[in-house]
Chains A and B, each alone.
Chain A
Amino acid sequence: MTREEIINELKNVVAPYTNNKEMLAGLNDQTDLIADLKINSANLVDIIIDAEAKYNIEIDYDSADKMINVGSCVDVIYDKVNKK
Chain B
Amino acid sequence: MLGTGNDIVALAAIDVERSRQPKFYSKILCSSEQRIGTEFECQLPVENFVWLAWSVKESVYKFLQKFMPELVFSPTRIIIAKLEPGLGFEGTVAYKGIAQYYNYTLYFRTIIDKGYIFSVVNFSDDFTGTHWGIKQIESSGHAYQSYAVREFLLTDLHKLLPGNNFTIDKSQHGWPMIMNNDKEIPLPVSLAHHDRYIAYSFQLK
Residues A42 and B76 in contact in the complex (CB < 8 Å), given A35-B174, A49-B23, A64-B27: no
A49 to B25, CA, bound (A): 10
Q: How many residues on A have C-beta within 8 angstroms of the other chain's C-beta atoms?
A: 15
Contact call B27/A48, Cβ cutoff below 8 A: yes
Chain B 10-22, CB-CB to A under 8 Å as 1, else 0, gives: 0001110010000
Interface centre among A35, A38, A41 (most CB of B within 10 A): A41
Contact call B54/A38, Cβ cutoff below 8 A: no
Contacts of A61 in B (CB 8 A): 27, 74, 76-77
Within 8 A of A (CB), among B50-91: 51, 54, 58, 72-77
Q: Does A65 contact B (CB under 8 A)?
A: yes
Contact call B13/A65, Cβ cutoff below 8 A: no
Q: How many A-B residue pairs have CB under 8 A?
A: 35
Q: Does A29 contact B (CB under 8 A)?
A: no
Contact call B13/A46, Cβ cutoff below 8 A: no
Q: How many residues on B have C-beta within 8 angstroms of the other chain's C-beta atoms?
A: 22
A61 to B77, CA, bound (A): 9
Contact call B54/A42, Cβ cutoff below 8 A: yes
Describe A's contact surface by its main secondary structure: helix
Contact call B18/A46, Cβ cutoff below 8 A: yes
Chain A 54-68, CB-CB to B under 8 Å as 1, else 0, gives: 000000010011001
Residues A40 and B27 in contact in the complex (CB < 8 Å), given A19-B141, A35-B174, A46-B18: no
Contact call B27/A49, Cβ cutoff below 8 A: yes
Interface residues of B (CB under 8 A from A): 9, 13-15, 18, 23-24, 27-28, 51, 54, 58, 72-77, 141-142, 174, 194
Query: Could you list some 30 contacts between A and B, CB below 8 A?
Result: A19-B141, A19-B142, A20-B142, A35-B174, A38-B142, A40-B13, A40-B194, A41-B58, A41-B73, A42-B9, A42-B13, A42-B54, A42-B194, A45-B24, A45-B27, A45-B75, A46-B15, A46-B18, A48-B27, A49-B18, A49-B23, A49-B24, A49-B27, A61-B27, A61-B74, A64-B27, A64-B74, A65-B72, A65-B74, A68-B72
Instruction: Beyond A45-B27, A65-B72, list 13 extra A-B contacts (CB 8 Å).
Output: A38-B142, A40-B13, A42-B9, A42-B13, A42-B14, A42-B54, A45-B75, A46-B15, A49-B24, A61-B76, A64-B27, A64-B74, A68-B72
